[in-house]
Structure 1
Amino acid sequence: MEPTIGEHLARIRRQSTLTQEQLADRAGVSVETVRKLEQGERTSARMSTLKSLAGALGVPTTALMGNAAQAVDRREPDAAPIGLVGVRRALTPVAGLDGQPVAATTAAEPPTVNRVRRSVLAANTIYHANDYAAAITLVPSLLADARALVDATDGDAQLAAYALASQAHQLVGRLLIQLRQVDLAHVAITQALDHARRSGDQVVGAAAVAPMCWLLLRQARFAEAEALAVRTAEQVEPRLSAASPAELASWGFLLMKAASAAVRDARHDDARDMLDLAAAGAHRLGGRPNPNADVMGNDFSTEGVHLMRVEAAVIAGQPDQALALAQEVHRSPQVTPSSRQRHRLDVAWSHVELGQYADATGVLLELRDRAPAWLRQQRYAREIVRSIADGRRRAMSSELAELAALVGCTP
């Protein structure tokens, strides 16, 4: 793994024979900044700070730039510009007038379909484990291998390569949405859609549309999200009696995205109708697993539809109904950790709405123990913590204070 900014800084400072205090004085920064970077307490810094440190050491600023993925995962201030530079470079390569890339990269070994497929699966496993720092670190090589595979193949083999490239970009898009890097996520998902079109695989294409709908929902573009999901669902709609698990899952998942948009647009009856239709598809799917679930984030199942009904009740302002529905949830292996964690936030919010602050805090503590990296990125969690703090009549407990610090909330 690439060294961190602090590791680069410590190595170059020692080579220069400067102490931390001398470097801080020369650079015009606090010695605490130098110390925290070198000790790994901070893994990012403002570009102006890096420039000052580099100038004091007599090296280019780029000599200090290293792996700041952990900073993005921790939501450290000013982390994104540096921490995501490798992702940006992979998604938006720069070319000159001659069309040649400025920073050409050469793979250590020629990519193969099996190697890229394994890489996509591994990256998705890391993503679903909420290890965003590791996922950020893997993204540049994953995208480079996927693109190199497309360039190295032709015919049917290239169609398969395009499908894998789409899946790789879908993963990156979902990761960036979690990290609230909306514009960069749009770039990744747009490229995923382009690769899917070139693959000619409708299942892959439908899977690429799903994170675009999610992104539109994050931007409050409800009508566009619903229209995109409904139109794509109509294009890929299978015959229920003969559909494969992958086809059923692709179609049903889009109906869930459309329902999510409709309920946010205050059209609750339309959302319910879509979920009823999705439930029929999930019933037909039964216990058959979607073979592409791990690489497409598509966890369509009976439980998944039911979790969406809970979410719809929350958005409709019906916390009692949401909690009642939550009691009927039956766990299935198809549902991803992110979906189940998001559902638990709906449960916590419902408790808050009913003034059940201890129950809401208990749900958040459960999520803190199970998925702290995921919870840290959730604005929804910050809203819940703030609402609990505002609603309680006594001083904030130590547990609630810890939750507030984790999610970056200042009640």
Structure 2
Amino acid sequence: MLTTIGDHLRKLRSESTFTQELLAERAGVSVETIRKLEQNERTSARMSTLNKLATALGVPTSALMGSAAQAQAMREPDAEPLGLVDVRRALTPVADLDGRSVIDEPEIGPPTAADVRRSIRAANTIYHANDYAAALTLIPGLLDEARTFVACADGDEQLAAHALASRAHQLAGRLLIQLRRVDLAHVALTVALDHARRSGDQMVGAAAVAPMCWLLLRQARFGEAEVLAVRTADQVEPKLSTASPAELAAWGFLLIKGASAAVRDARYDDARDMLDLAAAGAHRLGDRPHPDADITGNDYSPEGVHLMRVETAVIAGRPDEALTLAQQVHRSPQVTPSSRQRHRLDVAHSYAQTGAYTEATGVLMDLRDRAPAWLRQQRYARDIVQSIADRRRRAMTRELAELASLVGA
């Protein structure tokens, strides 16, 4: 049976000496919030609320996570109705004829900009740690928190509120793309773009466009993805000699997305030209950190551009070139784990294409050990495993059989 945040909360509290009232006092959370969670009248909460409850109970925040999200993240049968219901509610809230929400008002006390930023940063860290179950549990509360901040903010703070709401919805969109929920991801990213426009911040807008391009690529809408990436890159193109790290990262990341679309549209030379331009900006950026990387997931860097060169060679059907390029990768702290994992799939694919099945299997086994939840979601991994199984003349090895079971090949 799938359990909820409230089920875990009720069990942990009953094993302690806390009444609902005492836990509320110790955690600085309303008794009503605790009661509704424990009775499953509410199945999500702000991350800040979960952190407070976990701290008061002396347990990690992950101890409060519900197993419905775990089932969804692990692609268990029939997981979607439970695993995504709160995400759907947060993305598509329902109001009555008077415009009032049909669910309860948000938790007492409006969040601050610092609260929302901390929540986005924490959720992004969890996402890049491949803990999709935890991220899926936290996203509804994060979106509610961001929406509440927009509703409560005024004056100049309203612009900052829209910027943070865009960042929150961008993260939701990226997670949903990983979980193959493309329609929900489109909803999240459309809202992210709307908030970005309202913020008046071009960097926020560019950051929202990047995952939308990724989504379009997942839908094989290569032409639209390239036009969106290139048009936006032209709008935010900085002067390289004076550009800030944030400006360089926003522009360069879009060029990478444009190159990814171009090569998938059978235009390898155009993709290479875009990557040459992106490389110039990455060289100018150097090791300077992107100030918002912890809430945007933008890993633009010299290494990031080089990883895309490997990917373009793979897509262009040049596995030997891809393997040669892969040997020239120099690790940098800016590249996210998911980007590096995706690169390792390119390496495995290239090995398989050149008949080096043992090496390909070894790369996949390493990914299985390091990031099983991520690997399970990758159709690319399934295709590689299937291609190895189809081409081998001998019986499937134990390692290959384990991989096939994990990715559904």
TM-score, length basis structure 1: 0.84
Equivalent residue number for residue 47 of structure 2: none
Shift of 1:95: 1.4
Aligned residue pairs total: 352
Equivalent residue number for residue 398 of structure 1: 398
Q: Is 1:324 matched with 2:324?
A: yes
Equivalent residue number for residue 118 of structure 1: 118
Equivalent residue number for residue 74 of structure 1: 74
Equivalent residue number for residue 300 of structure 2: 300
Letter of the structure 2 residue corresponding to residue 84 of structure 1: L
* SS of residue matched to 1:170: helix
The 2-side partners of 1:173 and 1:352 are apart by 31
Q: Deviations over 1:193-223 (max 9, x none)?
A: 0111111111111000000000000000000
* SS of residue matched to 1:351: helix
Q: Is 1:286 matched with 2:281?
A: no
Equivalent residue number for residue 314 of structure 2: 314
Q: Deviations over 1:322-347 (max 9, x none)?
A: 00000000000000000000000000
Shift of 1:67: 4.8
* SS of residue matched to 1:235: helix
Equivalent residue number for residue 55 of structure 1: none
The 2-side partners of 1:327 and 1:218 are apart by 27
The 2-side partners of 1:389 and 1:4 are apart by 39
Equivalent residue number for residue 340 of structure 1: 340
Equivalent residue number for residue 226 of structure 2: 226
The 2-side partners of 1:68 and 1:388 are apart by 33
Q: Which runs of 5+ in 1 are unaligned?
A: 12-65
* SS of residue matched to 1:77: coil
The 2-side partners of 1:314 and 1:265 are apart by 13
The 2-side partners of 1:229 and 1:220 are apart by 15
Equivalent residue number for residue 90 of structure 2: 90
Shift of 1:73: 1.1
The 1-side partners of 2:339 and 2:368 are apart by 16
The 1-side partners of 2:147 and 2:72 are apart by 25
Equivalent residue number for residue 264 of structure 2: 264
* SS of residue matched to 1:68: helix
Shift of 1:4: 3.9
* SS of residue matched to 2:242: coil
Identical residues among aligned pairs (%): 77
The 1-side partners of 2:243 and 2:203 are apart by 12
Equivalent residue number for residue 213 of structure 2: 213
Letter of the structure 2 residue corresponding to residue 386 of structure 1: Q
For the 8 Å contact 1:91–1:188, the answer to whether it is kept is yes
Equivalent residue number for residue 46 of structure 2: none
How do 1:91-110 and structure 2 match up within 5 A?
Answer: 91-110=91-110
For the 8 Å contact 1:348–1:359, the answer to whether it is kept is yes
Shift of 1:158: 1.2
How do 1:5-16 and structure 2 match up within 5 A?
Answer: none
For the 8 Å contact 1:130–1:374, the answer to whether it is kept is yes
The 2-side partners of 1:266 and 1:127 are apart by 32
Q: Is 1:354 matched with 2:379?
A: no
Shift of 1:109: 3.0
Letter of the structure 2 residue corresponding to residue 146 of structure 1: A
Deviates more, 1:183-192 or 1:72-81: 72-81
Q: Is 1:182 matched with 2:182?
A: yes
For the 8 Å contact 1:303–1:330, the answer to whether it is kept is yes
Letter of the structure 1 residue corresponding to residue 255 of structure 2: L
The 2-side partners of 1:307 and 1:104 are apart by 46
Q: Is 1:172 matched with 2:146?
A: no
- C-alpha change, 1:185 and 1:172, in structure 2 (3 Å) is same
For the 8 Å contact 1:107–1:145, the answer to whether it is kept is no
Q: Deviations over 1:216-254 (max 9, x none)?
A: 000000000000000000100001011000000000000
* SS of residue matched to 2:273: helix
The 2-side partners of 1:399 and 1:356 are apart by 15
Letter of the structure 2 residue corresponding to residue 203 of structure 1: M
Shift of 1:98: 2.1
Letter of the structure 2 residue corresponding to residue 168 of structure 1: A
For the 8 Å contact 1:67–1:137, the answer to whether it is kept is no
Shift of 1:107: 1.7
Q: Is 1:131 matched with 2:131?
A: yes
The 1-side partners of 2:184 and 2:213 are apart by 15
TM-score, length basis structure 2: 0.84
Shift of 1:81: 2.2
The 1-side partners of 2:105 and 2:243 are apart by 42
The 1-side partners of 2:4 and 2:357 are apart by 40
The 2-side partners of 1:169 and 1:105 are apart by 20
